[in-house]
Structure 1
Amino acid sequence: MTLESRLNYREENPKAVEAMLALEGYVRGCGLEHSLMELVKTRASQINGCAFCVHMHTRDARAAGETEERLYLLSAWRESPLYSARERAALAWTEALTRVADGAPSDEDYAELARRFSPKEQVDLGFLIGAINVWNRICVGFRVIHPVDQRAA
């Protein structure tokens, strides 16, 4: 099966892309740990079925020193001791906000988030999660194809 992109969103609306890149620039420099941000981006992308973003953020996480084992187990993080309490709180919040259509985030998830993150960090994490969800929806909707290593394919 050959997949083809539906359109090039960057060419069709560069102003919208510029606005998203400005948000990305803020989030990237907000002070949250790079490793945490890549885990959050990868987990949301897994939930949303965004191959382009899973490819990008697992590659970026590896380049920043993330282990293969933690990346492989990310979809089952609740059953793995490999994630810190702070990462677990962020991943739970990521899942809650990404799946908000299934119901509001629980008070328990928020309480754990508040124990592990300052109020500013909570807001930054919310914008990080919101941004990756926007990118996922753009990439999935317009069928943006991830780079393919022809040797591996």
Structure 2
Amino acid sequence: MTTTSKTLRTNVGSKHPELYRALTAVAVQTDKTALAEGLSPLLIELVKIRASQINGCAFCLRLHTKDSLAKGESPERLSVLPAWRESMYFDEQERSALALAEYITTIQDSHINTGVYESAVAHLTPGQVSAVTWLTMAINTYNRIAISGAYTVAP
């Protein structure tokens, strides 16, 4: 029988708390900006959840799914979120925001996905495009912190 040792990961938030606090301040401001631009609290959480699904961040998925439900999101919409294109649960603004969040999260594929950005922003104002972009960048950063730090996710 072999045992596998788990390498301890550096918690970058603890190692450099001033940077983590700065990221948190940016994230708080992104939420405020998104609300001011007319995005609903539910859509803000959907963007965070969708990016976290793509990145496979269990820590952020648990956190934002709980937040979303507390804000009144339906379990049905959350259950079809990974397949939002095939459902009729999301309105045009939500669909545009989700497409933009996916585009930004998978930016490495932007050179082969020409036209995705243009179609993604079809039902968003320039201010909403900026807000969704900032929301997505912030959650992607949190995803990378949690995944690279092997944050514990247990029942």
With the shorter chain as reference, the TM-score category is 0.7 to 0.9
Q: Which runs of 5+ in 2 are unaligned?
A: none
Misfit runs of 4+, over 6 Å: none
AA aligned opposite 1:45: S
What is the identity percentage for the equivalent residue pairs of Structure 1 and Structure 2? 36
Counterpart amino acid of 1:120?
Answer: G
Q: 1:102 Cα deviation (Å)? A: 1.5
- Counterpart in the other structure of 2:66: 59
How many residues align structurally?
147
Q: State the alpha-carbon separation in 2 of the partners of residues 91 and 112 from structure 1.
A: 8
CA–CA distance in structure 1, aligned partners of residues 84 and 144 of structure 2: 23
Pick aligned residue for 2:12 from 3, 9, 31: 9
Distance 1:13 1:108, change over 3 A: closer
The letter of the residue matching 2:24 is: L
CA contact (8 A) 2:103 2:116 kept: no
- 2:97 maps to 1:90: yes
Q: Which residue of 1 aligns with 2:115?
A: 107
Partner of 1:44: 51
Question: What's the CA shift for 1:96?
Answer: 0.8
Please give the alpha-carbon distance, in whole angstroms, between the structure 2 residues aligned to 1:130 and 1:40: 11
Deviations 1:84-125 (A, max 9, x none): 111111111111110011224542542441x32211111111
RMSD: 2.0
TM-score by length of 2: 0.86
**Structure 1 unaligned regions, length at least 5:** none
Cα deviation, residue 67, structure 1? 0.5
